[in-house]
Amino acid sequence: MDTIANSVSKLLTLFLTVLFVGSELTHCNVTYDRKSLLINGQRRILISGSIHYPRSTPEMWEDLIWKAKHGGLDVIDTYVFWDVHEPSPGNYDFEGRYDLVRFIKTVQKVGLYANLRIGPYVCAEWNFGGIPVWLKYVPGVSFRTDNEPFKAAMQGFTQKIVQMMKSEKLFQSQGGPIILSQIENEYGPESRGAAGRAYVNWAASMAVGLGTGVPWVMCKENDAPDPVINSCNGFYCDDFSPNKPYKPSMWTETWSGWFTEFGGPIHQRPVEDLSFAVARFIQKGGSYVNYYMYHGGTNFGRSAGGPFITTSYDYDAPIDEYGLIRQPKYSHLKELHKAIKRCEHALVSLDPTVLSLGTLLQAHVFSSGTGTCAAFLANYNAQSAATVTFNNRHYDLPPWSISILPDCKIDVFNTAKVRVQPSQVKMLPVKPKLFSWESYDEDLSSLAESSRITAPGLLEQLNVTRDTSDYLWYITSVDISSSESFLRGGQKPSINVQSAGHAVHVFVNGQFSGSAFGTREQRSCTYNGPVDLRAGANKIALLSVTVGLQNVGRHYETWEAGITGPVLLHGLDQGQKDLTWNKWSYKVGLRGEAMNLVSPNGVSSVDWVQESQATQSRSQLKWYKAYFDAPGGKEPLALDLESMGKGQVWINGQSIGRYWMAYAKGDCNSCTYSGTFRPVKCQLGCGQPTQRWYHVPRSWLKPTKNLIVVFEELGGNPWKISLVKRVAHTPAVHGQ
């Protein structure tokens, strides 16, 4: 009997699987009309969420996508990141975190759809906006305009991605999960004139000609050429309407929070406001909503752009950077999605009738008069609650809220009534203490001799490094006469260094003089401080540091980085001495990078010095290494780097990203959900390091002898670094 029952169970499971595949993933073209996308001829209200595959690990993907499904999502949205997939012309990488096919197949396995945002420009606070830096150096190129070199490269990459998806049968027209693709992103051609418009028309025509069998969309494109659908992005999208009356209203970036920059506060968006924005969009005829981000993840390596974007890309998303559910955002949105889906038939079949219920009070009613009815009751007043009468019933509406009535009677959800307690998150140190450090000082003694580039004047940083490293040395020499008065006890001279880079460290005769740092708004920095000069030849070495390349802005590929000058010495007997047009030598990167000290194989290429906390020398530009065993359990892990200054960290040769204990400046006053939201409205962490904890994926660890390598620029103390576990707990609501 048990055998028969098992056989019947297996047959039933097979039948249901076939039924699901037949109903959702059969070979068909996805189409659209003015109301919504149509899948298998059926209009759908679709809830989507952005999860970017390079910002997590393959071992995390399935869990993230299952959590998204349980949160009420229908679609997973991701950009395709050109720069990581084609690091040099014609050389491709689709391995590990860059395994796009595996990611899309994981979406398919979980039973969700996918929106593949090929771009290939992504913005996304990603280095160089996702466009490979090598493209900047193609002769005659100009990004994202009617420019043949750019169009040729962009078309080649787009075709490669589409063909890859086709060969794996991943488009919905082939039975796969991809129901949408995006070409271009956040373009704003109204500011680019005729050349911009010509480029948009070309991009749309090129994309449609690839024959995917699914619609193409352009995000933040005011007038997408047919048949491409235009869509909205932003904190609100209630006033958005398609550029053509036969296209659906889509919101491809519903900002769940905001990104973080070093030196800035943490931004949070209250879920009451986020759900209000989504409900308001749906009640006005919207049919597709994508949360940007649903899981933000981590800017591993040097992928963060900006510049100054943090390694954490948490984005206050419903699933946090580490893959843990964030309450109440996750559950409150889940209830919103349930309420919307209960209204789906009315929403996709009918147009709303808008009724005034009083000042700043409205009802959007979807009613056929034959039984189908759904209503959204809105209070747009940001200060005052209201009681409204609708269909002879009374409803209480908090300020800045919308109630959803799937049957025009019962209020099943209100955007401002949150029934879940906030998550309580703790970062718990792993015991016993794990790190015993050895050190290696970055060698400055042979900089000029080891440099291979010399030139009169100052070279732009990217033109020299091609972004192979954050670091570029500018080295010159200046002769000081023995008769200078400062050598006999006078006031020291000073040096002034103007840089379009993001940070600069100044060394004179091998000794550290000081540093200067820019901000995301300024995109430049100036060092001005005293220097110790001696009679005769003096070596001046300036280490210019980038903190992610620009990812947005008109023709941002032309913006400069590095020390642009002037470089001036002040306080000499003859006054100012201009070093700008001296003979300069250049050295790309650090000696430790060249020797690959970050990898298990390269770490033995130098003699490391065993140190204790009592005897360590906390100098600038210093490498540290240690070994540790992986802690037990399954909780996500992070490094607590509060004791450090600025630099980078690697685990077993893989970069967990840039760190910087820049302290947050902002206005961290109380936060209210009601009223128009902007990032300055709800800020946390003022006066604290913008980012203290750095995600260490468990899949990067071995059971024993894991190598951690730290490069420290500013003399931080590694002996206080600790490995911590991230634990989240949501208290039960009182009485439940």
**Dist CA 221 CA 200 (whole Å):** 9
413 in Cβ contact with 444 (< 8 Å): no
**Dist CA 332 CA 692 (whole Å):** 28
**Longest CA span, the chain:** 106
**Dist CA 135 CA 361 (whole Å):** 53
674 in Cβ contact with 269 (< 8 Å): no
**Dist CA 594 CA 602 (whole Å):** 10
For residue 659, give both structure tokens: 């760190």
CA of 662: how far to CAs of 127, 486, 665, 685, in Å? 20, 35, 9, 12
Q: What residues contact residue 431 under an 8 Å CB cut-off, 6+ apart?
A: none
Hey, which residues does 66 pair with through a beta bridge? none
496 in Cβ contact with 519 (< 8 Å): no
Q: Look-up: residue for tokens 């995600």? A: 695
88 in Cβ contact with 468 (< 8 Å): no
Q: Look-up: residue for tokens 């000082």? A: 441
348 in Cβ contact with 46 (< 8 Å): no
Q: Helices 100-110 and 148-167 meet at what angle, rounded to 10?
A: 50
Q: Of these residues, 125, 184, 186, 713, which one is catalytic?
A: 186
**Closest to 310 (Cα-Cα) out of 263, 254, 253:** 263
CA of 721: how far to CAs of 339, 377, 436, 704, in Å? 46, 52, 10, 19
Q: What residues contact residue 488 under an 8 Å CB cut-off, 6+ apart?
A: none
For residue 52, give both structure tokens: 């970017």
Q: What is the dihedral of CA 200, 89, 76, 13, to 10 degrees?
A: 130
For residue 528, the one-letter residue type is: N
| Residue 272 appears among annotated catalytic residues | no
The kind and range of the H/E element at 152 are helix 148-167
**Dist CA 459 CA 475 (whole Å):** 11
**Dist CA 665 CA 688 (whole Å):** 8
Count of residues in the chain: 736
**Dist CA 449 CA 444 (whole Å):** 10
476 in Cβ contact with 585 (< 8 Å): yes
For residue 637, the one-letter residue type is: L
**Dist CA 341 CA 725 (whole Å):** 37
The kind and range of the H/E element at 66 are helix 58-70
82 in Cβ contact with 130 (< 8 Å): yes
Paired sense of beta strands 178-185 and 113-119, if any: parallel
The terminus-to-terminus CA distance of the chain in angstroms comes to 42
**Closest to 136 (Cα-Cα) out of 471, 464, 453, 546:** 464
Q: Of these residues, 221, 253, 442, 712, which one is catalytic?
A: 253
**Cα torsion angle, 460, 463, 468, 473, sign:** negative
| Residue 253 appears among annotated catalytic residues | yes
The phi and psi torsions of 25 (rounded to 5 degrees) equal -125, 30
Paired sense of beta strands 249-255 and 286-295, if any: parallel
**Dist CA 693 CA 427 (whole Å):** 9
In 40-112, where do the E strands start and end?
Answer: 42-44, 46-51, 75-79
Residues annotated catalytic, as ranges: 186, 253
